[in-house]
Chain A
Amino acid sequence: MTSFVLSHFALASPLGAGRAETVAALHDGRGGLSPCAFETVRIPTHIGEVDGLDRPVAGGLADYDCRNNRLALMALEQDGFIDAVAGARKRYGAHRIGLFAGTSTAGILETELLFRRRDPVTGALPADFHYAQTHNTYSVADFAQRVLGLAGPAFVVSAACASTAKAFGNAARMIALGLCDAAVVGGADSLCLTTLYGFHSLQLTAEGPCRPFDASRSGISIGEAAGFALLERAERAPGAISLLGIGESSDAHHMSSPHPEGLGARMAMERALAAAGLAPEDIDYINLHGTATRVGDAAEDQAIWGLFGDRTPCNSTKGQTGHTLGASGILETIIAALCLDEGFIPSSPTTERLDPTLRCRYLIQGTDRPLRRVMSNSFGFGGSNCSVILGAAP
């Protein structure tokens, strides 16, 4: 594939806002999960909540105010990202920079709250409902495009938990075909009642902090995050983290359970390797999807074992961040970039005793070491799979 780099990136997650807080938390094995006290939710579970989302979106974009866009804005405001995009806008022109974002639930939290305020007689929603700016799935791309002053092609990918990983594929194709010169890739998914009660009804939420690949793992911890990356052709930003390959597939198995042998997951990883022109032994670390469900981790383990055997170090950072659903692709791709940039593999501090039936080389203890290539996996409802491979600057 054409050579691309993540010339700038920014994020906000339960680990903190921006690069420094994220790296410090990952490096020290500090977790971002706490007992759920979100809104009026009474579910015995832990969540990864981002602090500091109380400030409404103000000014000309006030109609876009919702938790999801506040979180997106918090990420965009980190580490000089808005200025970096402004620089790119000067080089390429606003309409030559695409914006490909992902989310699964957009601003549905606000609609959930509005449904409690419906007219008791007519069932009508209050007049202060800004459907297009908050509820519609596209709202996060529309909002980010306006914050960044961009005017290129844009859309939202909403393919459950693979959304923001798949968006890298859209961006890479559009740039390679000359439909845009650069693209902002990313998105946000924020806490809401739909996902908390929905995953609870599927009996997929763990009571304590989630424990990926642990023998006694019992489900996910739902988290929230936002992240954005500026994707450019490699020659534009020499020395930056490279996007080496993307692989996508479908399970064709079940709406809410992965293929038991991880066939779709394996196909996504194989395609990412093929796109990058790499062999399994070229990957130094895999940031797993690793949500800590019984079946999900087992399926991913089978896929990893089949392709990488027990050689390649891998683990999941969801014990620290929670499962940030549609944002997990961009969050963990940026975590992969940070691992490459800083030369470390994070720990998996909530995993205490590895499941002896799982065979991949899962690292509970992180390590400082130079990494050349890292893979990040994202798999979602509907059997939607995506693997992304990043490389360190040569």
Chain B
Amino acid sequence: MELPADVKKRLTLPFEEHFYAGHTACQGCGASLGLRYVLKAYGGKAIFTIPACCSTIIAGPWPYTALNAPLFHTAFETTGAVISGIEAALKAKGYKVKGEDGIMVIGWAGDGGTADIGLQALSGFLERGHDALYIMYDNEAYMNTGIQRSSSTPYGAWTTNTPGGKKHFLEQRPKKKVIDIVIAHKPAYAATASIAYPEDFMRKLKKAQTIKGPSFIQLFAPCPTGWRSPTDKTIELARLAVQTAYFPLFEYENGKYKINMPSPNKEPKPLEEYLKLQGRFKYMTKEDMEILQEWVLKEWEELKKKAELFG
């Protein structure tokens, strides 16, 4: 389809679609948007590995696929290892990996498959320095099995195995900082991204293509089903997560941190604005929200300090 010139001028993301209509994501799914952007970034030159997660279902059952790219479905904990093997095979067979015209090897896994059961394989992949990109799409729980907590689930969030009852809510632990664990491996490139800021995400995907060595992107992707949020609020929630500094956007490269916030000079918005849009936090009292707010600001100050010291 040919676009009118004025539309072309305004378009900042590639127009081509490589994520087919007819995929089976829920209404308002943040992860499926993320997958669409990744496919746009690498066109038809990427090999995907997807472990057990929502995306297994979203891509469709045999013999269908919603991705215009070769896709290997693998076991839950193996994304880091399988992409290592694919990269090794491409090198053994003399294919060009990464770069402008090279093949991108992509691991696309949820937070459970990354922060929990897949952490060991992720660590191995990073430490061995494979030329591949691992994307953790973070919807903060095991959504595919019906909303159970992962170590990426935040303090206070209702899930089916950390319910909020008349007396307590069971999720008492803060969100695991997977990106910090990744950075401890000194990868070639690590970044956070959000589906609310596709241009920033696209820029980071392109960067991962040019940098030699392992890259990691933690993509914030709200899940209306699991978050008990309205399906038309997905992007707004993803934006608020950044604006409240709950999920700040930054990059790590060559030992340097760079914060890339959309409005860098603005103070973070109050967290309550973000929390109140979601049913999963409705069990929290004012005091609980303050605990979480405090955590968020403390982490934010820590990140700013890192960017200042290692900027």
Say whether A and B bind each other: no
